[in-house]
Amino acid sequence: MAASSSSTSFSSSSSHEGDAGSSYIECFKYSRRATLRSVVGRPDGGAGLVGERAVVGGWVRSSAVVRARRAAAGPASPSRKPEVEATGLTCTEVLMSRVPLIRCIARLMAGGITAAASAGGSARRPAVGTALVRINDGSCVADLQIVVDSALLPLDQITATGACVLVEGKIEQVEGTLPQYVVQMKVEKILHIGPVDSEKYPRSNAHSSPDLVRGYPHLAARTATVASTARVRSELVHAVHAFFQSNGFFHVNTPTITTTTATSAGNHGKMLRLTRLFSKSDNGNRITPEAVRAAIKEKTKQVEALKRSESNREALEAAEQDLQRANALSRQLEQGASAESSQDEFFHRPAYLTPCHTLHLETYACALSSVYTFSPVFQAESESLDSDRSLAERWTVDVELAFAELEDAISCAEDCVKSLCSTVSKDCSDELKFLSSNQAGDATSSVIEAAVSSPWQKIKYTEAVNTLLQVTDKTFESKLELGMPLSREHLSYLADDLYKKPVIIYDYQKQLKPFYARLKEDLKTVSAFDLVVPKVGIVACGAQKEERMDNLTSRIEESGLQVEQLEWYLDTRRHGTVKHSGFSIDLESLILFVTGLKDVRDAIPFHRTKGHAKC
């Protein structure tokens, strides 16, 4: 993967990390430890490192204890069934414990050690023998099997699933007993043990269900699936910056906190609002509705008294101004806004977690020409039928190009997504292969290859609607007519069944897109597009931005937004306006596409959904 760190080695070789022909072990630059990626993650599975010494660390995935035969026991009886004490075994390891032929081979590999275990019932004594422990440090898909003799430490300390170990030893070849291993490490020194309470550890079973894994997000990355997804995500993030930096874009940090409620018509209620928390000492300073009503009553009496006296004109004007402010505050309360929102908010106005970075990014495009940002966005989704696709917090890549029209934005988005898919397919092939094998047979690699190598289908929104209305071999549950949004099943039919590749739908009806999308000559459609990919749906959307002041202000008013709140945005049209276009890529949706995962909650490290933000 491209994000690998600089490293040192135990011997003076100039070969690159992972080369099958190199005979040295690379160490992580900032510790003595060798990553498992530099051992079993090599193309040869580590065969070229046999005889080399290294320090490795990781967390226990599973283990088996091969007990030593007592000296007085004599030769093992063929009729006796040896047993293996095991935790989280693979199918191959289970077979080794139950099939005589495989056990015989295991005894030869282990130097005559017979697999045996306590028959249970009585108090268990410390195991005497050898532990075969699978560990993984998160650097690659493959595990490393370490062989630990009970003379080094009580074996129950190192065999518990979830325990953390740091050991030193020698790499040796596995003689055909376990096909998934080419080499293993014979441990000579224990440097660290991070114990785990097996009775309380939620992942003591190596094959945990997805729901159980999601319930412990702080431990989820120890699973092979989540760890593989995390490495894919890391590579995607790296590839995003590489693509835009190599194509002349500047990275801009746009704000996560916004005071502009202008994402789209009717979307204000879906924004997450920031609320200041008050301590007990603040109570005396807070404005309550009762206090406002009392102030209005008192100020009204004062104004009436000053009018009758006609003796102090300046005092009357000041009292009238105070009364006006009190009435304004009262009206805010009647409209459902709290008194704190105008008088005691941290920003002295309502503030929200941003659902969109487009508006702020446009301001920098109007100065730096080509810009992008990689940031989180937030939306307070209500209960959704598509719960496997809904997140309150997502990450998006937002792009803006000055002196560009819709076709330019579409071309950039297509090049970007193809580049990201190609990079991940090349640099995360092991992860994608593993994830594909765990996703009910999804041919992930072939889907990515088809998306990268073939031209994408481009159709107008009206063409898409007419095509769907003419479908006779399938019945859609969602109603569809011109001017209505395309549902998930409509998009799936276009990308999965009809065209069988990514589809770009453009020139939408204006009511389906935000106010900033450029109005076309027919005054009914706007220059906007969606990128739809198979198995997932929309992974990117974009638009050419409206640069004409009259059209923009009209669209703002049509959308039910306040022009006054967007004065700062309109300044970019008043002062040196430019044609510009942009798009946004949803990172989690793209991860679903390249990995074959089904649930968006598995595409982000700590998912936030309605009713769930555990840690």
What's residue 2's pLDDT? 46
Q: Are 76 and 82 in contact (CB under 8 A)?
A: yes
Q: Are 201 and 118 in contact (CB under 8 A)?
A: no
What's residue 430's pLDDT? 93
What's residue 159's pLDDT? 93
What's residue 69's pLDDT? 65
Q: How many domains does the chain have?
A: 3
CA distance 502 to 414: 10
Q: Are 480 and 493 in contact (CB under 8 A)?
A: no
What's residue 54's pLDDT? 95
> In this structure, is residue 611 part of a structural domain?
no
> In this structure, is residue 173 part of a structural domain?
yes
pLDDT tens readout for residues 316-370 = 777 888 888 888 777 776 665 544 444 456 787 888 999 999 999 999 999 999 9
394 Cβ neighbours under 8 A, 6+ residues apart: 376, 377, 378, 379, 586, 587, 588, 604
The answer to whether residues 319 and 399 belong to one domain is no
**Across-strand partners of 372?**
251, 399
Q: DSSP per residue over 22-41, as a string?
A: --S-EEETTSSPPPGGGTTT
Query: Which CATH number covers residue 450?
Result: 3.30.930.10
What's residue 394's pLDDT? 95
The answer to whether residues 459 and 395 belong to one domain is yes
The answer to whether residues 92 and 234 belong to one domain is no
Q: Choose among 58, 244, 267: nearest CA to 143.
A: 58
**Across-strand partners of 398?**
373, 584
What's residue 266's pLDDT? 45
The answer to whether residues 108 and 150 belong to one domain is yes
Residues of the chain with pLDDT under 70: 1-23, 69-125, 176-179, 203-207, 262-269, 277-288, 310-312, 333-345, 382-386, 439-444
The answer to whether residues 151 and 252 belong to one domain is no
Number of Cα atoms under 13 Å in the Cβ half of residue 497:
11
Element of type H or E holding 463: helix 461-469
What single-letter DSSP state applies at residue 49?
G
The predicted model scores a pTM of 0.79
CA distance 77 to 558: 88
Q: Locate 166 and state its tokens.
A: 């740091």
What's residue 207's pLDDT? 67
What's residue 323's pLDDT? 86
CA distance 422 to 424: 6
CA distance 508 to 514: 11
Q: Are 414 and 456 in contact (CB under 8 A)?
A: yes
The answer to whether residues 523 and 459 belong to one domain is yes
SS3 128: coil
377 Cβ neighbours under 8 A, 6+ residues apart: 354, 355, 356, 357, 393, 394, 395, 396
The answer to whether residues 303 and 404 belong to one domain is no
Q: Choose among 139, 204, 144, 192: nearest CA to 164.
A: 192
Query: Which CATH number covers residue 15?
Result: 2.40.50.140
The answer to whether residues 396 and 499 belong to one domain is yes
Q: 95 lies in which domain range?
A: 7-71+79-207
SS (H, E, C) 50-63: CCCEEEEEEEEEEE
> In this structure, is residue 282 part of a structural domain?
no
The answer to whether residues 320 and 404 belong to one domain is no
What's residue 60's pLDDT? 95
CA distance 276 to 320: 31
CA distance 546 to 578: 10
Q: Are 506 and 528 in contact (CB under 8 A)?
A: yes
Q: Are strands 503-509 and 272-273 parallel, antiparallel or unpaired?
A: unpaired
295 Cβ neighbours under 8 A, 6+ residues apart: 326
Q: Are 528 and 358 in contact (CB under 8 A)?
A: no
